């Protein structure tokens, strides 16, 4: 059980499952102030982070529940869901026997890159001080200013080699598609630091309509359609030659689902073959790179009408590519005991709930 673990940084995860998507939240952005210059504290108070949405503090779409959260995840001590490490430990880590939990802070990118970089540094410090130190089963993600790769590279360098961090984290919606060369310095830095690059779904991002035909009306549409941002990013990375250029970089796709991947690969391969004239940087069928470099977290898992069909999909993607995630404390949280609609063999369970992720993060 988890209580017998050695909690020191870098220690082996001897037992328990791995949860690849846990969202720590702040009671207010004042939690960042110990690491934030006064200039930026004042800036945030006056202007906020100016997300690329119509509202200064709200969300693009009204969400399913207050704070987008499980209704039982509000800590008894007050504050929003995911803001109390003791309550998270009891409700998530202990209750679900989680031996390693990966933090994915979703503080939202600021339009001002200098502000975003200052906040990113503070969020990274905050993850260590407020989460990893009190609860070593948790590991942090290096958040970066993805729209200013020079600043992102500085941030990655700041934490490279620090065992509290297991990956670099970016959102799925960016100003330009991630295959563009301007983002490449980030990939070089991740590869050099031996840190996987995780892409987490976001509904707010580059400030474009969430479909090519415009804006949907409801969260039930937007929540689904966000998955398309992963498809366009994966196509861009493959076709622009990123996988060819950075062969040792591992990619983790978080909260984007996965059942759509086989059909995307088949379609990409077909048009890669037909259009090689315009795709010299992509030297192999895209599906080959995807099979080698990409991992996918489970929540929210697509649920086939006939549960056994999920087995076909997992086989096509590769059982070694799937990593369990709860998405705690969000409303569509997956409980590790009930998330899978099919019975997994012990070997399959071990891979998805444990060893696939440990392998990606290079943990014993």
Partner 1 sequence: MIGLPVGAIDCDVHVAVPNMNALLPYMSEAWQEMITSRGTDGLDLASYPNNAPLTCRPDWRPANRKPATDLSMLQRHALDSFGTRAAIIHCLWGAQAVHSEDLARTLCQAVNDWIAAEWLDRDPRLRAAIVVPAQSPTYAAMEIERWAADRRFVEVQLLCMNEMLLGRRYYWPIYEAAVRHGLPIGIHAGSAMRHAPTANGWPTHFAHDYVAQTAGFEGQLLSLMGEGVFNHFPELSVVLVESGVTWLPAFLWRAIKSWRGLRGEAPWFTRSPGDLVRRHVRFTTQPFDVPGPDETRKILDHIGSDEILLFATDYPHWHFEGTGALPPGLPDDLVQKIAVDNPLATYPRLKETLS
Question: Which residues of this protein are in contact with partner 1, per CB under 8 A?
Answer: 45-48, 50-67, 111-113, 175, 207, 209, 214-218
Residues 6+ positions from 335 with CB-CB distance below 8 Å:
96, 326
Supply the minimum distance, in Å, between the C-beta of residue 217 and partner 1. Answer: 5
Helices 149-159 and 113-127: angle between axes, nearest 10 degrees = 20
Nearer to partner 1, 204 or 339 (CB): 204
Nearer to partner 1, 221 or 236 (CB): 221
End-to-end CA distance of the chain: 17
Nearer to partner 1, 114 or 288 (CB): 114
Nearer to partner 1, 53 or 279 (CB): 53
Supply the minimum distance, in Å, between the C-beta of residue 9 and partner 1. Answer: 36
DSSP structure string for 104-158: -------SSHHHHHHHHHHHHHHHIIIIITT-TTEEEEEE--TTSHHHHHHHHHH
Nearer to partner 1, 173 or 250 (CB): 173
Supply the minimum distance, in Å, between the C-beta of residue 202 and partner 1. Answer: 15
Supply the minimum distance, in Å, between the C-beta of residue 62 and partner 1. Answer: 4
Supply the minimum distance, in Å, between the C-beta of residue 167 and partner 1. Answer: 27
**Closest of 203, 144, 150, 148 to residue 173, by C-alpha:** 203
Supply the minimum distance, in Å, between the C-beta of residue 54 and partner 1. Answer: 4
Residue 146: φ, ψ to 5°: -65, -25
Nearer to partner 1, 214 or 364 (CB): 214
* Residue 20: strand, helix, or coil: strand
Rounded CA-CA distance 4/16 in Å is 10
Rounded CA-CA distance 188/73 in Å is 38
């Amino acid at each position: 059980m988890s209580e017998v673990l050695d909690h020191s940084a870098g220690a082996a995860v001897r037992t328990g499952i791995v949860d690849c998507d846990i969202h720590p939240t702040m009671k207010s952005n004042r939690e960042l102030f110990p690491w934030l210059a006064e200039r930026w504290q004042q800036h945030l108070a006056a202007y906020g982070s100016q997300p690329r949405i119509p509202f200064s503090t709200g969300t693009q779409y009204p969400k399913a529940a207050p704070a987008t959260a499980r209704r039982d995840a509000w800590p008894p001590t007050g504050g929003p869901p995911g803001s109390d490490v003791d309550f998270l430990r009891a409700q998530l880590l202990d209750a679900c026997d989680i031996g390693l939990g990966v933090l994915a802070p979703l503080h939202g990118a600021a339009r001002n890159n200098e502000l975003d970089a200052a906040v990113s540094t503070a969020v990274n410090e905050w993850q260590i001080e407020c989460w990893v130190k009190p609860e070593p089963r948790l590991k942090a993600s290096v958040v970066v200013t993805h729209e200013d790769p020079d600043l992102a590279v500085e941030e990655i360098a700041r934490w490279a080699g620090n065992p509290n961090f297991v990956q670099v984290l970016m959102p799925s919606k960016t100003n330009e598609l991630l295959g563009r060369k301007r983002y490449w310095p980030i990939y070089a830095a991740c590869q050099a630091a031996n840190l996987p690059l995780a892409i987490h779904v976001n509904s707010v991002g580059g400030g474009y309509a969430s479909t090519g035909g415009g804006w949907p009306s409801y969260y039930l549409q937007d929540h689904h359609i966000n998955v398309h941002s992963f498809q366009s990013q994966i196509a861009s990375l493959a076709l622009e030659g990123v996988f060819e250029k950075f062969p040792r970089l591992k990619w983790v796709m978080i909260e984007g689902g996965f059942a759509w991947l086989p059909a995307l690969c088949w379609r990409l391969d077909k048009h890669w073959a037909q259009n090689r004239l315009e795709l010299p940087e992509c030297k192999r069928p895209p599906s080959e790179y995807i099979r080698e470099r990409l991992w996918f977290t489970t929540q929210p898992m697509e649920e086939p009408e006939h549960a056994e069909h999920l087995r076909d999909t997992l086989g096509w993607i590769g059982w070694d590519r799937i990593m369990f995630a709860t998405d705690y404390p969000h409303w569509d949280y997956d409980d590790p005991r009930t998330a899978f609609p099919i019975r997994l063999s012990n070997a399959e369970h071990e891979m998805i709930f444990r060893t696939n992720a440990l392998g990606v993060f290079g943990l014993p």
